[in-house]
Structure 1
Amino acid sequence: MRIEIWSDIACPWCFIGKRRFETALNDFEHKDDVEVEWRSYQLDPSLPDHYAGTETEYLSQVKGMPADQVRQMFDHVTQQAAGEGLNYDFDSILVANSFTAHRLLHLAKTQGVLNQAQEELLSGHFEQGRDIGDVDYLAEVAQRVGIDAAEARRILSTEEFTAEVKSDIAEAQALGANGVPFFVIDRKYGISGAQPPEAFAQALETAWGESQRLPVLAGPGSGTDSATSGTGGDEAVRDGAVCGPEGCD
């Protein structure tokens, strides 16, 4: 079973959703048969490399949200994060465009350390007040997860992995995602938002059950009337006899 997760480093619910999904997956009986692929998304591509203001000012001045509403939202998200063992500090957040950091994640993916790099960046942004738009910090993260810092700097100074990030974003939009986190299971089920672990657990069980059933294109169980469908070349389909628990046709 394959699960794709679109996420933005600058999205507070994405870190919470990651923890909740991982809780459900860890308890899932068939977790060893689940392939998880993290994909890039940007909530605000128009954000400058760095915004000269706080997260509260950004949302209230740029997005037009009342400051009181922003603070209440931060309090609520902080409480939810604490429930997942995360220590959010919105007062220390440095507002920056996440595109370059997503390019680093694609580099990390090629090195097999995507999850580690993602954890570092999310924690750095929401818990430590680090600058996800700063190449020095991104090189530091790269080194911590086992990527040569000089190589990371070189790559981030080019356009490498730009196409991959844009492709991820375009694909999410094509699938109908209008926010993140956005989870897609086997390209059959979509789950939007940082749902409770119980919701993810139910989705995993449902999708796994569906993945184990072989679709029947014709005959009993196909959902169509094989005795009346088609003519001519369909005779073999209409005349196909089967045996079942109660005997044979």
Structure 2
Amino acid sequence: MRIEVWADVVCGWAYIGKRRLEAALADPAFDGVPVEVVWRPFRIDPTAPARAVPLEEAYGDPIVDTALRRCAPGLSPMENRARVSEIAAEEGLGPRWGAAWRADTHDAHRLLALAFERGDAARQNAVAERVMKAHFVEGRDISDREVLAAVAAEAGFADGAALLEAGAGEDVVRELLLTGKARGVATSPTIVVGDRALAGAQPAEVIREFLLKGGRRRELPEEVERLRYAESLLDQRDPFGALVLLRPLLDEHGDDRTVRMLAARAYFASAQLGRARPTLEWLVAKSPDDSYARHLLGRTLQRQGLAEEAAPHLTMAAVMTPEYA
């Protein structure tokens, strides 16, 4: 059974959720069951400064307020802080508890992704434990690469520091963040098994019941899954994110109409009209009776100030599909 934990390492509930997940998996019901826990990135505070600042100074920032609410929906930052501290103590996290820094977690997520990619789930789990302990218990700045290098070594991933310095893991983390968004992950932590998700750091018994129900996920070719995620991002008005996921498909399957059409929609939605136009012209040339492609080409030409060139396409699209009139 593969368990994906989508979480940010600066979310206290993620660390609590880790302990509760471990308690759930210690139940005899899972004896002999092969389990793989994989950590996936989620950012509660993507605007955190590159250079960490003391957390006490950051609490008055409305952006920090918003970030903390993504970690604990329904609670004010102060309510969340008090409740997390109390529950962390109950879960045995401490004796000291409390982050000291508002730290950017991009490199920490890269380190986790690399630990899994270059090792396995066990190594990644060890790194996740050390990163969160460093942040919440030891009060260290986990945006500092020297701190991350020490944490990686302590977790048995000595190669991690060099990989970070070489820029490894950038694309992996970027795509995983977009994939999580496409799949509807909206809070930290979110536990996913197959096609089922459990949001929040639920009690161990709730997690146990969730895991026992399992979750089947329809196995799709990687290309089809990537295409669906890109379409989900476009539906969420993130055309740039959709194009990131589409890039490998455009490189390898550029003659596929479905791929081209989704790219054309993303180009149009992101105002990249210079890219939308040739893509749509190619689609219209291949399928002259595609009213949607014609309509979108006409609108693209209109937005480029080419009304006369747009008119025939818009007229023909309206004739074929009256709702485009």
TM range (shorter): 0.7 to 0.9
- Is residue 2:182 matched to residue 1:181? no
Distance 1:107 1:204 in 2: 26
Map 1:77-96; keep pairs closer than 5 Å: 77-87=84-94, 89-90=97-98, 93-96=100-103
Q: Does 1:196 align with 2:203?
A: yes
> Which residue, 139, 143, 147 being the options, matches 1:129?
139
Q: CA deviation at 1:127?
A: 0.6
How far off its partner does 1:37 sit? 1.6
CA distance in 1, matches of 2:140, 2:104: 13
2: CA distance between counterparts of 1:118 and 1:64?
A: 23
One-letter code aligned to 1:168: L
Query: Residues 140 and 64 (structure 1 numbering): CA distance in 2 closer, same or farther, change over 3 Å?
Result: closer
How far the C-alpha of 1:190 sits from its partner, in A, is 0.7
Q: 1:214 maps to what in 2?
A: none
Residue 163 (str. 1) matches residue 164 (str. 2): no
Per the alignment, in what secondary structure is the counterpart of residue 195 of structure 1?
coil
TM-superposition CA deviations, 1:151-172 (whole Å, max 9, x none): 4333212321011111221111
Structure number having the greater helix percentage:
2
Determine helix, strand or coil for the equivalent of 2:101.
coil
- Taking the aligned partners of 2:183 and 2:50, their CA distance within structure 1 comes to 28
Partner SS for 2:175: helix
Q: Do the aligned partners of residues 172 and 198 (structure 1) sit closer, same or farther apart at CA in structure 2, a change above 3 Å counting?
A: same
Deviations 1:55-110 (A, max 9, x none): x43232243749xx5334312110011111012533x5121100001111122222
Q: Distance in 1 between matches of 2:207 and 2:79?
A: 27
Q: For 1:227-246, what aligned pairs fall within 5 Å after superposition?
A: none
**Which gives a bigger RCO, structure 1 or 2 (Cα 8 Å, sep 6+)?**
1
Query: Is there any run of 5+ residues in structure 2 with no aligned partner, and where?
Result: 67-75, 218-325
RMSD over aligned Cα, in angstroms?
2.2
The answer as to 2:126 corresponding to 1:120 is no
TM-score (norm 1): 0.74
> In 1, Cα distance between the equivalents of 2:175 and 2:59?
27
Structure 1 gap segments, 5+ residues each: 212-249
Native 8 Å contact 2:115 2:160 kept in 1: no
